[in-house]
């Protein structure tokens, strides 16, 4: 089972379990279920309000992630991804630290989410 720790300087850190194996639950849905106040608006990868920084905290190699085209467009617009980052992501299939919580599917790994 994955441990997801939400961290924000204005709130006490909150660690929750994500259901492993479903591969359908977004980070934003998990935050809402546990009353973690991650900002959001559209919930559809368009507004960028739910941008978070995600880092792996277990000792396993990071899992590859597929960023949707919407997510890449919004993260680029927000200045969180450069053209070089996008090229690197396409080649290495390695996750960007910056994600949209409404687009990121929670995987079976322990992560720190700064919001």
Stretch that binds ligand FES, among 6-14, 16-24, 45-53, 56-64 (CB under 6 A): 45-53
Please, which residues bridge with residue 5 across strands?
A: 15, 112
Q: Which residues contact 89 (CB under 8 A, 6 or more apart)?
A: 67, 81, 95, 96
Choosing from 30, 31, 48, 99, the residue that interacts with ligand FES (CB under 6 A) is: 48
Choosing from 102, 104, 106, 113, the residue that interacts with ligand FES (CB under 6 A) is: 102
Least separation in angstroms between CB 1 and ligand FES = 25
**Nearest CA to 64 among 94, 21, 28, 25?**
94
Q: Should residue 95 be labelled a site residue for ligand FES when binding is judged by CB under 6 A? A: no
């Amino acid at each position: 089972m994955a441990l997801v720790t939400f961290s924000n300087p204005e709130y006490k850190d909150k660690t929750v379990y994500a259901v492993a194996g479903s591969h359908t639950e977004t980070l934003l849905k998990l935050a809402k279920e546990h009353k973690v106040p991650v900002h959001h608006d559209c919930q559809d990868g368009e507004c960028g309000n739910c941008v978070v920084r995600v880092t792996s905290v277990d000792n396993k190699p990071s899992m590859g992630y597929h960023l949707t085209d919407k997510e890449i467009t919004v993260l680029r617009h927000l200045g969180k991804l450069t053209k070089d980052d996008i090229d690197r992501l396409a080649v290495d299939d390695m996750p960007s630290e910056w994600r949209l919580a409404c687009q990121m599917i929670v995987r079976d790994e322990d992560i720190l989410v700064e919001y």
